[in-house]
Structure 1
């Protein structure tokens, strides 16, 4: 008997074949050593690994490694991710195989989440800057992976999106919310255990100035808050019962003041950076970082630095500060020092 198939039967057959093909693909998946960050792939980037070894600083709290940095001068200046230093002490740095104590924080840039560090050293190998960071999507790039005392391993990936701004909430907060039905910055609620509560701000107070600047809207206040880091004290002028008062309010990390509900994507992303948004410009890659592997250089295939890895955003996106912007940030921070 000749058998015929209707549309439903044809669809079922296609689905059956598709499932079978998927099983074959799964059985024929790449060996571990041949995957993106497998041993064989990493070995192909030996020249870039040697370059990253020279210009990377490995940063410790006590004996525990927690982040990377970029060596930017022969005499011991290093750029790193600022928010990772909140609440840490007993800091030290390893460059190459030499460990340096007495690490000093000399300047910060809250807008970019960058800190300038200084160690007492000579003859270091600073990163070699690339001319541009505007690489085509799909271009190979190299960063730091795991580390040991004598070896920087590499993490490889590709540029996965065009350079762009990443907006977001201010990473540091005062600890207040405002009445939505008011045209002014009238405080509706003061969050417990925040800088605002400790400084004596109360519901009904109207904020007039922040850091010496007049602020008349939430948008203006958010822009101004971004100029400061968590842990800094900022003078706030406010009106209460017709009187103008002033208080020094310590800013807190948003993550510490408010327990924000994780999205499904965040739940799947695992270990991402404390601060992963509110950057003026980022170069996006698909490098599978952990949060503690952020802070170091992002290199092109010539071993030149095209940016600084500044955030693990989620399971598919990692951000770097483009080299053009990074050089400007460094110049401004060095001016503060000198």
Structure 2
């Protein structure tokens, strides 16, 4: 399983240059209605344009799989070991998981590890002699560089350009979607349940008194807010509450807070480009590029123009913003993910529920 090298030389580059020249001519506003009609065919993600990059992904296509749960494609996966290990995006998964290979065969998949910092999940299927991906030994990533994302077809699923070679994304704070206050008797009481929030979905009610969160004692409203904010969006936490003199344990999934002043405009602009990944923040180091990916297309490899696998797509974060984990980081995590020591104790609790769209949990 050797490292891929750049082998797409002058003929391919001339073909690509010709496509780009033709695209530029067709986008010229002075050429009339015929050229106007051709514009969509040469958009960066149009089939005619993507097909020009088919040779780039030819050697990697068989290493890409479709990850299915609840009878829907949730992500792509990347075969990282010929004995049946497949890397994918963790937070899009839920329930029973299946993997469909490029030849159409489907296998039940076991979730053997989750790496939370990078939202990676390792799956294992009962198969061998699979076509495992070969990661680039060195990454040379520069702004303006082409990024090519293979999918389940001969043509790439998306073409993009690097915006920021490496960047850190601070973790987002989780929110529950409640208003709270301190009571005269020294307890912390819920005063408001915000619509479409994790609190509402979990069944919390106005008047509930919160005594513990995630196993920690709560003695004030500030302590409750601090504890909830220390968890990530998408995490499930247990709350011990008192309701009508009865003690209850309620399990809730946290949403994601965003700046209120920018929320409406940011949400509108980002949603113009399609759906976003549920987990799209809090990655220690990622490559930012402008490839147009659907959330269910994350988890697959990303290549440079020479066909070298230089990362793994991990999130669609905005209209022109997608993130990839660099190959060097992926390689450093593979052994632990395959070992079983990162296996979740209760897999379903690690996976994001279908209704829990963090952007809708903002107060």
Pairwise CA distance, 1:97: 0.7
Say how many residue pairs are matched: 302
Pairwise CA distance, 1:287: 0.8
Equivalent residue runs for 1:219-238 within 5 Å: 219=226, 221-223=228-230, 225-226=231-232, 229-230=234-235, 232=236, 234-236=237-239
Q: Identify which of 269, 277, 285 aligns with 2:281.
A: 277
Equivalent residue runs for 1:162-311 within 5 Å: 162-167=165-170, 169-170=172-173, 174=176, 176-179=178-181, 188-189=191-192, 203=207, 205=209, 210-211=214-215, 216=223, 218-219=225-226, 221-223=228-230, 225-226=231-232, 229-230=234-235, 232=236, 234-236=237-239, 248-252=249-253, 254=255, 263-311=267-315
The answer as to 2:55 corresponding to 1:47 is yes
Deviations 1:24-45 (A, max 9, x none): 1675566555442345543442
The alignment's TM-score, normalised by the length of structure 2, stands at 0.66
Deviations 1:226-269 (A, max 9, x none): 3x854x4x4557899xxxx99654232527xxxx8673313422
- The answer for unaligned runs of 5 or more in structure 1 is 1-20
SS at match of 1:263: helix
SS at match of 2:81: coil
Equivalents in 1 of 2:114, 2:84: separation in Å?
16
Equivalents in 1 of 2:311, 2:120: separation in Å?
12
Equivalents in 1 of 2:293, 2:196: separation in Å?
33
Pairwise CA distance, 1:312: 1.3
When residues 291 and 192 of structure 1 are mapped into structure 2, their CA distance, relative to the original with a 3 A threshold, is: closer
Pairwise CA distance, 1:291: 2.4
Asked if 2 retains the 8 angstrom alpha-carbon contact of 1:190 and 1:203, the reply is no
SS at match of 2:91: helix
Asked if 1 retains the 8 angstrom alpha-carbon contact of 2:213 and 2:227, the reply is no
Structure 1 equivalent of residue 149 of structure 2: 143
SS at match of 1:325: helix
Asked if 2 retains the 8 angstrom alpha-carbon contact of 1:49 and 1:154, the reply is no
SS at match of 1:111: coil
Asked if 2 retains the 8 angstrom alpha-carbon contact of 1:195 and 1:250, the reply is no
The answer as to 2:127 corresponding to 1:124 is no
Deviations 1:31-87 (A, max 9, x none): 55544234554344233221331221112346643420111111111111122113x
Pairwise CA distance, 1:158: 1.2
When residues 202 and 35 of structure 1 are mapped into structure 2, their CA distance, relative to the original with a 3 A threshold, is: closer
